[in-house]
Structure 1
Amino acid sequence: MTALDASKKTLSAGHAANMSGVAAVERALAIAEALVNARRPLNLTELAESTDLYKSTILRLLVSLESCGLVVRRSDQRFTLGPFAIRLGKAYDACTPLEALLQPLMEQLVREGMESPSFHVPNDANTRLCLLRVDSLHSTLDRVRVGDRLPLRAGAPGKVLMGAAPDPHVRDISPLLQVSFGERDPNCAAIAGPVYGPGQVLLGALSFSGPLDRFNAASVKVMGPPLLAACRQATAQLGGQWPED
């Protein structure tokens, strides 16, 4: 065996060890994600069904998750998110104060009669996460809630997050806007624009969404300018530079 072969073998062993460590972290996070999605305490059987992990694996990982406070075991042997989850959320808000800045802006848009505003961020390669949501004053609404994971490749917010080409439906308003008619849900529609942070980093997509029958060329032209103005204002408040300035 040459020195190069020995070096490759050593690197391969180290790489395998690293990959094993990553897998363990991903499994632990799958447990936490199952608790986030359930929005209620889960027992061991329910965790196994939600994560496709063996119960023995879950129990081993729960030891670490409980020790750091991310998960808490209740007296009825159900598991729920622990105080470390709160600390993570507060730290995220402190580093990127999206809710503190965007929530009042979204509430103002609702008071002005707009459709339901939501703020979406990338979740993974295939999904986006609804981080913030305010229901409109209309009697009928679309069913989008905070914490929902939605397809990245369907819907106006997903198009914004993926940097899609300018949409012809709103090109005369701004090439930064995107619209969707029944893409993710055949009964719903949306219009969305980008919100940027320092360094022109795309932080997320602010959108109006609602029942499809309230979205047409005329209503999109009404909703587009206030949505664009809100995106621009949010960008300025978050330290970003609006591309059209």
Structure 2
Amino acid sequence: MQAISHPPTSGVAAVDRALCVLSALANGNGSLSLKEIANNTGLHKSTILRLIASLIHAHAVAQQPDGRYVLGPAVARFHAAYMRSFSLSHWTVAALHELVRTTGESAAFYVRQGEFRLCLHRIASPHAVRDSIETGDLLPLDRGAAGRVLQAYMHTGDPALGEQIRNEQVLLLAGDRSPELAGIAAPVFGPLEDVLGAITLIVPLQRVQRSWIAPVRESARALSRQLGGQFPLAGSPNTDESTAAPLSSFDPD
């Protein structure tokens, strides 16, 4: 398990430390012992015990019969209130607008719909020559960058390509669904580390640029954080120039 840095104490130190304990429990595999919390927070056991006593009183932490600690029922209430406080659509559409502003190309958000992928949101490029995809369109899962990304986290489709996507957490693919289009897609994660969908840049082949790989991946990471999720650790180091091997010829200038 990845260690959690000791929190800064620019605010109230006790609150910072309590939040550090809650973060350790949230990142744990179901439950943690006192020793495991100490290892993952850098806090002394005596400090943790004092913090946990307050957190248990607030129902933010619970102690199991075996002595291990878990998040308490108050966290579920906080999560429900958080989910009511914002619209998934609001954050997603804002992210798409930012990608269009940055690149000048169309951006879309796809979710799995049975054996297909649904274009849940789409912001059009200002260029006259652009893709014809519209919000509400159903497209195949096994074609296009977004479909391949969704397949990768379902562990279906091409196993080698799926592993590469999970390692690099982004995919640039040309001519897979349409010979005139390229796509750059990255997964968006929810609070339970589940894939909510794929954010995608849809570009005419003659205009696609490898430099857009980084903003698409960063957009997916930022949207994941806004929706309460986070990117899992990649299986291999990420680099801005890395792409999954295209399934059709692509050699942009």
TM-score category of the 2 structures, normalised to the smaller one? 0.5 to 0.7
Does the aligned pair in 2 maintain the 1:167–1:178 contact within 8 Å?
Answer: no
Task: Evaluate the alpha carbon distance shift between residue 244 and residue 136 of structure 1 in structure 2; reply closer, same or farther with a 3 A threshold.
Answer: farther
Matched, 1:98 2:88: yes
Q: Structure 1 166/207 Cα, relative in aligned 2: closer, same or farther at 3 Å?
A: farther
The answer to whether residue 229 in structure 2 is matched with residue 236 in structure 1 is no
> What RMSD in Å do the two structures reach over aligned CA positions?
2.5
Show CA shifts across 1:3-61 (max 9, x none). Answer: xxxxxxxxxxxxxxxxxxxxxxxxxxxxxxxxxxxxxxxxxxxxxxxxxxxxxxxxxxx
1:59-98 → structure 2 map (5 Å cutoff): 97-98=87-88
Q: CA deviation at 1:206?
A: 0.3
Structure 1 residue runs without a partner (length 5+)? 1-92
Q: Tell me by how many angstroms 1:99 deviates.
A: 1.1
The separation in 2 between residues aligned to 1:102 and 1:243, in whole angstroms, is 20
Q: CA deviation at 1:244?
A: 3.5
Deviant stretches of 4+, over 4 Å? 93-96, 164-168
The answer to whether the 8 A contact 2:172-2:213 is kept is no
> Retained in 2: the 8 A contact 1:167–1:177?
no
Q: Hey, which of these two has a bigger chunk of helix by percent?
A: 1
What is the TM-score normalised by the length of structure 2?
A: 0.52
Structure 1 residue 165, shift from structure 2 partner:
5.5
Q: Which residue does 2:187 correspond to in 1?
A: 194
Residues 113 and 137 in structure 1, CA contact (< 8 A), matched pair in contact too: no
Contact 1:195 1:235 (C-alpha < 8 Å) held by counterparts? yes
**Following the alignment from structure 1 to structure 2, what is the Cα–Cα distance between the partners of residues 96 and 200?**
19
Separation of aligned partners in 2, 1:158 and 1:214: 21
| Residue type at the aligned position of 1:232 | R
Pair 1:116 & 2:106 matched: yes
In structure 1, what residue type is equivalent to 2:230?
Answer: Q
**1:107 matched to which residue of 2?**
97
Aligned pair count? 145
> What is the rounded CA distance, in whole Å, between the counterparts of 2:103 and 2:184 in structure 1?
15
**Aligned with 1:130 (options 112, 119, 122):** 119
Task: Name the amino acid aligned to 1:142.
Answer: D
Contact kept in structure 2, 1:120 and 1:157, CA below 8 Å: yes
Identity of aligned residues (%): 34
Gaps of 5+ in 2: 1-82, 153-157, 235-253
Q: Is the 8 A contact 1:155 1:179 kept in 2?
A: no
Under a length normalisation based on structure 1, what TM-score does the superposition of the two structures give?
Answer: 0.54
> Whole-Å Cα distance in 2 between the matches of residues 136 and 119 of structure 1?
14
Q: Deviations over 1:110-134 (max 9, x none)?
A: 1223421100000112x11000000
